Amino acid sequence: MKLGIIGIGGHGAGHLRAILNGQGAELVGIADANETLARQAGEQHQVPNFTRWQDLLEQVPMEGLVVCVPHDLYDEIIAAACGKKLHVLKEKPVARNLEEGKRFVHYAESAGVKLMVGTQRRFSPAFQTMRSRQTAVAPLFMFRSHYSFCWEPDFAWRGVKERAGGGAMLDMGYHPIDQMLWQMGAPSEVYAVCSDKARPGTPFPYDTDDTAILTCRYANGSIGYILMSWATSPPEESVYLHGANGVLKSTWNELTHWTPQGELVEEQHWAFDGYDALRTQLETFIQSVQSGSEPPSSAQEQLANMAILDAAYRSAETGAPQKVELP
Ligand SMILES: NC(=O)c1ccc[n+]([C@@H]2O[C@H](COP(=O)([O-])OP(=O)(O)OC[C@H]3O[C@@H](n4cnc5c(N)ncnc54)[C@H](O)[C@@H]3O)[C@@H](O)[C@H]2O)c1
């Protein structure tokens, strides 16, 4: 599949590598606003390169596009790509809010193209094994996840709500929320508290949250919580599923299974990293396009994640629990 890429500087570098190595993928062009970056990558991989993404779309014939840019740029890019009948793999989040997400789904559906959202943890064997092993610990009654790391002093576009859509809860929290959805389904009600106190006096633009705790209630009485911070240590990313018959803990490449009393049942390790997940994700996107099937993490499916986030930010603003209205 002939693929162009927009945004190769940050996380897009991994997507570029995935296109170069992914089965069925052929890199045909690059766009990045950073002229040096675009030129160097274009020369290295011998493909046309541009600083304006519009030029990439106008000048290079392709079938699909991988897009990895600041959140406020997706609307125009996805509209234009769908206008050219290109299938799109966009990075998470599906959008800055539910309304924008529905618009993206409309662009893709009207054009008859696939729009997939990057949620690469779904392609980690550890998280996948957790999902397939749930029956061993079921019935589930609690999901919990901690996700923390320390971002650079300048959050850059991520610190500006208008550009990013939200702070830590939306940006990094998108992943554990996706895991919760994928592993346990959508909660019916959420309550969130957000903080912006981890960087007092920062000279950089900053009106988003840096730390958040989200609690969730399910219609069947199950519960869940997620703790997210992009301004602290130690770095940690873990997901737990608690069931009446046992406990599962997953990280990127480890799965641990205990009895409810804490006796170890099994530990599994995989030699697998984030890049492998990006490549597998891309190959899945290509297979979906070629077979005409709906990709996992399609934009339509990901609207549920956005509905949870919209409700969570409403809760943080009002101080009251909010119902999750699934689209
Ligand atoms: N799935 C993950 O684990 C993960 C991790 C990090 C980021 N992301 C997502 O990836 C996306 C990008 O985040 P990032 O951390 O790479 O951001 P970044 O700011 O590090 O990089 C963005 C890139 O886009 C380029 N760019 C900016 N404006 C452009 C324009 N008008 N035209 C073309 N290129 C332009 C920049 O030059 C830069 O190379 C976001 O959606 C973010 O949420 C996902």
User: What is the Å distance from ligand 1's center to 271 Cα?
Assistant: 27
Residues 257/133, Cβ–Cβ less than 8 Å: yes
Ligand 1 centroid distance, CA of 70 (Å): 5
Mutation pick for ligand 1 pocket among 32, 55, 69, 157 (CB with most ligand atoms within 8 Å): 69
Residue type, 80: A
Domains in the chain with CATH codes? 2-121+277-297 (3.40.50.720), 123-271+305-323 (3.30.360.10)
* Residue 249: predicted pLDDT: 98
Instruction: Find the residues whose C-beta lies inside 6 A of ligand 1.
Output: 6-12, 31-34, 37, 53, 68-71, 73, 91-92, 118, 120, 171
Q: pLDDT tens digits, residue range 37-92? A: 999 999 999 999 999 999 999 999 999 999 999 999 999 999 999 999 999 999 99
Other beta carbons less than 10 A from residue 107's beta carbon? 19
Query: In Å, what is the CA distance from 18 to each residue of 89, 122, 183?
Result: 12, 16, 26
Cα distances (Å, whole numbers) of residue 72 to 41, 96, 140, 174: 24, 8, 37, 16
**Ligand 1 centroid – CA 7 distance (Å):** 6
Mean pLDDT of 177-191: 98
pLDDT per residue as tens digits for the range 205-214: 999 999 999 9
The structure tokens listed for 106 are 């409309």
Task: With a cut of 90, say whether residue 272 has pLDDT above it.
Answer: no
The answer to pTM > 0.85 is yes
- Non-local (6+) Cβ contacts of 277 within 8 A are 120, 121, 123, 124
Ligand 1: centre distance to CA 246 (Å): 39
Please determine, for residue 259, whether its predicted confidence score (pLDDT) is greater than 90: yes
The rounded Å distance from CA 278 to ligand 1 centre is 15
